[in-house]
């Protein structure tokens, strides 16, 4: 059974389009995260939700909007895609926000904007 | 701004040697330190964490922490080709930040 899953695995789209990435975890964790990893492998936190409540919102363009319909799901919607949005986006979860050190990562979504 | 610095490498070591990976951090109040391993094209996975000064050993892996000097290191003994990956250092500063700050990672290559 996949602990943290993301769809799609690959996403190729043109500038200006709107796209969504979905994430689901079946670990019963309370906290979920979105990270962006650029071409230089730099992994940077974007958002974190704890029990459907937004607790971390780093400096990210407001074209990015996370949504957590329940604590097992955290989706990421991106409006008006730009070339610089090309990266691998990882979803992760942890038991709760206090136990954030052991984060389980999804397989990643490689987004390419052309 | 909290920063975590790592030498990007690549660090090449022969099979059976000790690989030494280093990480420095800027926030003196940082509480916990983590090493994640990321194989090419895969997601990061936690391999070690350390809270207190000194060494922590787990199999072939040893994490070392020196809070006074603000550095943390990971030693891999008897390196194997399967250890070839990028190693990400992550730091938790505590104080209600609820997030990890990652370094850019060091790419390790173990040569058979």
- Whether the per-residue pLDDT at B94 is higher than 90: the answer is no
Residue B95, chain A, CB below 8 Å: the answer is no
Element (H, E) at B36: strand B32-38
Q: Bridge-partner residues for A70, per DSSP? A: A73
Closest by CA to B90, choosing from B33, B22, B31, B9, is B33
Give the pLDDT band of residue B85 (cuts 50, 70, 90). very high
What does the pLDDT read at residue A95?
87
DSSP state letter for A86: -
Residue B109, chain A, CB below 8 Å: the answer is no
Element (H, E) at A75: strand A73-78
- Whether the per-residue pLDDT at B62 is higher than 70: the answer is yes
Q: Report how many helices (DSSP H) and strands (DSSP E) chain A contains, helices first.
A: 0, 11
Per CB-CB distance under 8 Å, the chain A contacts of B49 are 101-102
Q: Angle at the Cα of B43 (from B41 to B48), degrees rounded to 5?
A: 125
CA dist B53 and B82 (Å) reads 29
What does the pLDDT read at residue B9?
84
Q: What are phi and psi of B50, to 5 degrees?
A: -150, 140
CA dist A90 and A69 (Å) reads 18
What does the pLDDT read at residue A18?
97
- Whether the per-residue pLDDT at A62 is higher than 70: the answer is yes
For residue B19, the distance in angstroms to the closest alpha carbon of chain A comes to: 20
For residue B25, the distance in angstroms to the closest alpha carbon of chain A comes to: 15
- CB within 8 Å: B99 and A42: no
Q: Are strands A31-37 and A43-50 parallel, antiparallel or unpaired?
A: antiparallel
- CB within 8 Å: B100 and A100: yes
Give the pLDDT band of residue A1 (cuts 50, 70, 90). low
* Residue range A75-99, pLDDT digits in tens: 999 999 999 999 999 999 998 877 7
For residue B81, the distance in angstroms to the closest alpha carbon of chain A comes to: 21
Q: At a CB cut-off of 8 Å and minimum separation 6, what does A62 contact?
A: none
- CB within 8 Å: B86 and A41: yes
- Whether the per-residue pLDDT at A106 is higher than 90: the answer is yes
3-state SS assignment for residue B81: helix
Per CB-CB distance under 8 Å, the chain A contacts of B34 are 101
* Residue range B11-50, pLDDT digits in tens: 999 999 999 999 999 988 888 899 999 999 999 999 999 9
Distances (CA, A) of A23 to A74, A89, B101, B108: 5, 11, 22, 30
Closest Cα in chain B to A99: B98
Both tokens of B8, joined, read: 């990007």
* Residue range A19-59, pLDDT digits in tens: 999 999 999 999 999 999 998 888 999 999 988 888 877 77
Residue B92, chain A, CB below 8 Å: the answer is yes
Per CB-CB distance under 8 Å, the chain B contacts of A30 are none
Nearest to B98 among A44, A56, A108 (CB): A56
What does the pLDDT read at residue B31?
85
Residue B42, chain A, CB below 8 Å: the answer is yes
């Amino acid at each position: 059974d996949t602990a943290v899953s993301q769809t799609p695995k690959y996403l190729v789209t043109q500038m200006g389009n709107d796209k969504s990435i979905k994430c689901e975890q079946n670990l019963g964790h309370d906290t979920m995260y979105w990270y962006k990893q650029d071409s230089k492998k730099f992994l940077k936190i974007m958002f974190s939700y704890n029990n459907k409540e937004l607790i971390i919102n780093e400096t990210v363009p407001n074209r990015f909007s996370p949504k957590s319909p329940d604590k097992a799901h955290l989706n990421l919607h991106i409006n008006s895609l730009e070339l610089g949005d090309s990266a691998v986006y990882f979803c992760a979860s942890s038991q709760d926000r206090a136990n954030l050190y052991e984060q389980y990562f999804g397989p990643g979504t490689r987004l390419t904007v052309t | 701004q909290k920063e975590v610095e790592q030498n990007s490498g690549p660090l090449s070591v022969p099979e059976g040697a000790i690989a030494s990976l280093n990480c420095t951090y800027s926030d003196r109040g940082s509480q916990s330190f983590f090493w994640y391993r990321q194989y090419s094209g895969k997601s990061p996975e936690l391999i070690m964490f350390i809270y207190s000064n000194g060494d922590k050993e787990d199999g072939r892996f040893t994490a070392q922490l020196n809070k006074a000097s603000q550095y943390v290191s990971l030693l891999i003994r008897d390196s194997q080709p399967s250890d070839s990956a990028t190693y990400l250092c992550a730091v938790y500063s505590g104080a209600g930040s609820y997030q990890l700050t990652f370094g850019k990672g060091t790419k390790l290559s173990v040569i058979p």
